[in-house]
């Protein structure tokens, strides 16, 4: 997978963490007083997808919009530090950079503060972004479209992007939002979680049969080659237009409480990894599937890799990515567990 050129288009965000300690309640309200220790920042949203790809050795180009503000400059610096090309990230003085600030005390998230605006892009900004993207498409092996419903991607915008990708035979991998059921028609792979899939087909998905029926319906809705439905502790299901049966992959993680942070892992006889934080797990699945398929893997093999990668990421606190070494170790661990049964 190393060296593949992958574009990431979507809502880039800055994830900001304020770390501290809390040992008393405020006299002003029944809330903890957090004594500040340190602050750090990392890429969120589409930026987290890009970070996962870069961590696995891909040559990544990011495309999106920020504000002309302090957070936008911090986000650009994070992209540069991760080795992600970001000439396609346009600064617009009329917008605000999306920032999600989490206050953490003793490994517990106390509160999250979001700074964002969701209005559609100005036409001049949209045209500038699309011009940069269309020039880059000629040398990309794949494009990941990461939609967080912050105003960047509209139906018309997505249609122009997918049409250009089809002409140049660049496969598109999408994690859709609920507000745009038909915006991504013709994508190579659609990745959604079970709640999103249930929303799309207007019913709860409670068993394998209902998940498969929903997946088949989504294949038709999106006109895509494949749909991946992630199901948390129940793993994920892969449905392909050309394959008569769904392919199920068991989860590689075991959910535990924050009280186990720093303690010995689960018993040797158990299977799976501890789950500390689900932040960004969907981004990891999307990025690994796209990169593996771009490198020549069959979709089912790519999904197995993505499942293993997500199992690594949910074992970390906060927004995180997976390295090639961690992914190899996760695959070897899964293989050894199967061999011991």
**Beta bridge pairs of residue 109:** 104
Counts of helices then strands in the chain (DSSP H, E): 9, 15
Q: CA–CA separation, 110 vs 26, rounded Å?
A: 13
Residues in the chain: 341
Q: What angle do CA 175, 66, 128 make, to 5 degrees?
A: 85
Q: CA–CA separation, 8 vs 60, rounded Å?
A: 7
Joined together, the tokens standing for residue 52 give 């996962």
Alpha-carbon dihedral angle through residues 11, 76, 326, 315, given to the nearest 10 degrees:
-60
**Long-range contacts at 215-220 (CB < 8 A, ≥ 24 apart):** 215/239, 215/246, 218/190, 218/192
Q: Active site residue: 11, 92, 147, 283, which one? A: 283
283 is catalytic: yes
Phi and psi at residue 32, to the nearest 5°: -75, 150
Q: CA–CA separation, 72 vs 309, rounded Å?
A: 29
Collapsing DSSP to helix, strand or coil, 336 comes out as helix
Q: Which residue do the tokens 């900001």 mark?
A: 16
Contacts of residue 333, defined as CB under 8 A and 6 or more positions apart, other chains included, come to: none
Alpha-carbon dihedral angle through residues 166, 169, 173, 179, given to the nearest 10 degrees:
-10
Which residues are designated catalytic? Answer: 283
């Amino acid at each position: 997978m190393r060296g593949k050129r992958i574009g990431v288009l979507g809502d880039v965000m800055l994830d900001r963490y304020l770390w501290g300690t809390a040992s008393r309640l405020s006299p002003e309200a029944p809330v903890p007083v957090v004594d500040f220790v340190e602050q750090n920042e990392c890429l969120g949203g589409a930026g987290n997808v890009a970070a996962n790809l870069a961590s696995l050795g891909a040559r990544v180009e990011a495309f999106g919009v920020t504000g002309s503000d302090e957070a936008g400059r911090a986000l650009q610096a994070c992209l540069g530090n991760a080795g992600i090309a970001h000439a396609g990230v346009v600064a617009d003085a009329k917008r605000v950079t999306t920032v999600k600030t989490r206050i953490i005390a003793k490994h517990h998230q106390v509160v999250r503060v979001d700074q964002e605006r969701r209005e559609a892009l100005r036409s001049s900004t949209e045209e500038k972004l699309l011009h940069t993207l269309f020039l880059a498409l000629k040398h990309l092996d794949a494009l990941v479209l990461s939609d967080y419903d912050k105003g960047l991607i509209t139906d018309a915008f997505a249609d122009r992007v997918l049409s250009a990708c089809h002409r140049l035979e660049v496969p598109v991998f999408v994690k859709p939002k609920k507000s745009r059921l038909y915006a991504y028609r013709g994508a190579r792979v659609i990745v959604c979680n079970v709640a999103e899939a249930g929303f799309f087909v207007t019913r709860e998905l409670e068993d394998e049969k209902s998940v498969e029926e929903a997946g088949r319906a989504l294949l038709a809705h999106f006109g895509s080659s494949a749909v991946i439905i992630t199901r948390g502790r129940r793993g994920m299901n892969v449905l392909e237009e050309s394959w008569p049966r769904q392919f199920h992959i068991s989860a590689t993680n075991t959910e535990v409480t924050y009280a186990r942070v720093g303690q010995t892992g689960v018993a040797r006889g158990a299977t799976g990894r501890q789950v500390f934080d689900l932040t960004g797990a969907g981004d990891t699945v999307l990025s690994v599937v796209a990169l593996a398929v771009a490198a020549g893997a069959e979709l089912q093999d790519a999904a197995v890799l993505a499942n293993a990668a997500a199992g690594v990421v949910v074992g970390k606190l906060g927004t995180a990515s997976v390295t090639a070494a961690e992914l190899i170790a996760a695959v070897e661990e899964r293989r050894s567990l199967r061999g011991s049964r």
